[in-house]
Amino acid sequence: MPLEKKADPNTKDKNVAQMATKPAEGGGTRANGHVQAQGGKKLEASQATLDKFVKDYEKKHGALHPSVSVSFDPDLEAAGTTNFGGAVTIGSSAFSSAANLRSTLVHELGAHVEQIRSGNFGTSREGDLVNEIEAYRLEESSRRETGLKGSDLKDVRSEISTRLDELKKVSPEYYGRVQAGNYRLNPRDACSPSTCNLGAF
């Protein structure tokens, strides 16, 4: 039986559904398992490839905040992680296709970095679930832009469903809000502005 992903208040992961987790070096969580290419040509997993896709992302969405960094880690088993300081790390599994890499950047930069910027980065299990549902829903709604389809899109929808089911159990209040499209966290469940702050831009 797979283990549940444990919340880490400092890091958000984009995982494959139902993966076991283990502590990552230096804190955070790391998903076990590997994603196989599910559609499209597998990309070279490198910082150079990632930099090209980040530039494409910025052309569509505007320049990243100067405090945000995006780096490749071949040992990271999750597709991507974002910490409370805006450091985004992309793992090899995100390179399974161009669509998957674009979608992972939407998840990390479009959702989690924005959650930090707006003071809405979760520090509790409930907050983490709300953040992840918002991030996966953004991936789903961006599918025409990213090209995500087939089993990759099915995986994103499965992630949403799994997290909604868990949120309904742990916090009916947040579940109701999220179903209405409200992802705002209570202050007790969000990172404080003194800790989660990208600074002026």
Task: Quote the CA–CA distance of 173 and 150 in Å, as a whole number.
Answer: 33
Tell me how far apart the alpha carbons of residues 54 and 70 are, in angstroms, rounded to a whole number.
8
Each residue's pLDDT tens digit, 72-87: 999 999 999 999 899 9
**Has residue 183 got a pLDDT over 70?**
yes
H or E element in which residue 69 lies: strand 69-73
Q: Average the pLDDT over 109-122 and give the result.
A: 95
pTM (2 d.p.): 0.83
Beta carbons of 5 and 159 less than 8 angstroms apart: no
Q: Grade residue 15 by pLDDT with cuts at 50, 70 and 90.
A: low
Q: CA-CA distance, 103 to 164, in Å (whole number)?
A: 20
What pLDDT, on the 0 to 100 scale, is given for residue 102?
98
Indicate the SS3 state at residue 73: strand
Indicate if the pLDDT at residue 35 is higher than 70. no
Cα–Cα distance, 60 to 25 (Å, whole number): 34
Quickly count: other Cβ atoms within 10 Å of residue 142's Cβ: 20
Angle at 56 between CA 68 and CA 28, to 5 degrees: 35
Expressed in angstroms, the distance from the first to the final Cα of the chain is 46
Listed by start position, the domains of the chain span: 11-20+41-185
Identify the residue whose tokens are 């399974």.
Answer: 96
